[in-house]
Structure 1
Amino acid sequence: MRYADGPATAHDVYIEAAPQAVWELVTDIHLPARLSPELQRAEWLGDVGAPQVGACFAGYNRHPMIGEWRTVSHVLEVAEQRLFRWAVVDADGRYSEQAPDPAHPLATWSFALEAEGSGTRLRQSVRIGPARSGVNLAIDRMPEREEEIVAFRLGELHANIEASLQGIKALAEAERSSP
């Protein structure tokens, strides 16, 4: 798969907790920094304390191959206890001289929740591109290995998603079993 194809990955997990409890965790933008090896911290921008369409939050990231960088995420969709989706842009022009545009993000992320039995099915997904990102830096250096580079990055992202989902599952189920 090539970068221009909009490569994506996703994973889901069943959580023995009500959708409301899971929703509270997935919409806490600070939580992923506890679960992700890449995201170091996040903060709402402006007078926002909860997800709402149009709200923005900054993410501070670190990767051993490209160092540290900041992104800004634009909340695209919020459907209470069902969907939280956001577009990530290169706010500081690290990868491109083009103005950040949530219609052409570095990546688009989402959490989708569905009531299932006595719990919740939680799915996290990401689509990378179409805007330039750290992946493009590697592709620029080795264009003949683009498909391998994209596959490697998708593998990293998939592993991060799995770790995040397992962390959310553990937290939600621990809260449920607490008196």
Structure 2
Amino acid sequence: MRYRDQPTAEVTRRLSCTPEAAWAVVTDIELPLAHSPELRKVQWIEGDGVAVGNIFRGDNETSGLGGWSTDCVVSDVEPGRRWTWAVRGRGGVMATWGFEVDPTSDGGSIVRQWGRMGPDPSGLSIFIAQHPDKESRIIEGRLQQWREGMEANLDEVARRTA
């Protein structure tokens, strides 16, 4: 697995809530605060909701890396169905994330969260450059962290819409 191939993690959950209820939760940028081991604060810095071009900032911290902030630009919105955001770094887009909500035939929802690395360098690129022989393992470890966070986010969506 190579960073340059823009690896992706995705988690999908079938929920009993309506798509409208799920949408209301997945468009709350504070959703990940409930369970993220590194996200400490999130706020809108341009605009005040999920609309193309609006920007929010996430403040993060880990014991190994200290603190850092990223600005995220809402890049695509299909109201009630899908929204994506690009995480910007010094060199460009470090990652792209998204939520998708689809209706089920019984009035419930299928909710997906996904994240794709790259195409531009991120903090992970520093570790890969230091240990190029471990690139695949470094990436898989980070994707696993992402999947765990996504599972926690979808657990929170289920809890808030129960």
Q: Per the shorter chain, which TM-score range?
A: over 0.9
* Distance in 1 of aligned mates of 2:63 and 2:147: 17
Instruction: Flag as ranges the 4+ runs of structure 1 deviating above 4 A.
Output: none
Identity %: 34
Q: Confirm or deny: 8 A CA contact 1:66 1:134 kept in the other structure.
A: no
Cα deviation, residue 38, structure 1: 2.1
* Partner residue in 2 for 1:36: 36
TM-score, normalization by structure 2: 0.94
* Partner residue in 2 for 1:162: 151
* Partner residue in 1 for 2:99: 111
Residues paired across the two proteins, number: 161
* Distance in 2 of aligned mates of 1:128 and 1:60: 19
Q: Which has the higher strand share?
A: 2
Cα deviation, residue 111, structure 1: 0.3
Q: Confirm or deny: 8 A CA contact 1:54 1:74 kept in the other structure.
A: yes
What are structure 1's unaligned runs of at least 5 residues? 174-179
Cα deviation, residue 22, structure 1: 0.9
* Partner residue in 1 for 2:117: 128
- CA deviation digits over 1:10-49, x for unaligned, max 9? 0111111111111111111122212322211111013x22
What are structure 2's unaligned runs of at least 5 residues? none
* Partner residue in 2 for 1:59: 58
SS in structure 2 at match of 1:13? strand
SS in structure 1 at match of 2:147? helix
Q: Confirm or deny: 8 A CA contact 2:59 2:68 kept in the other structure.
A: yes
* Distance in 1 of aligned mates of 2:70 and 2:28: 17
TM-score, normalization by structure 1: 0.86
User: Which of 107, 124, 129 is residue 140 of structure 1 equivalent to?
Assistant: 129
Q: Confirm or deny: 8 A CA contact 1:71 1:88 kept in the other structure.
A: yes
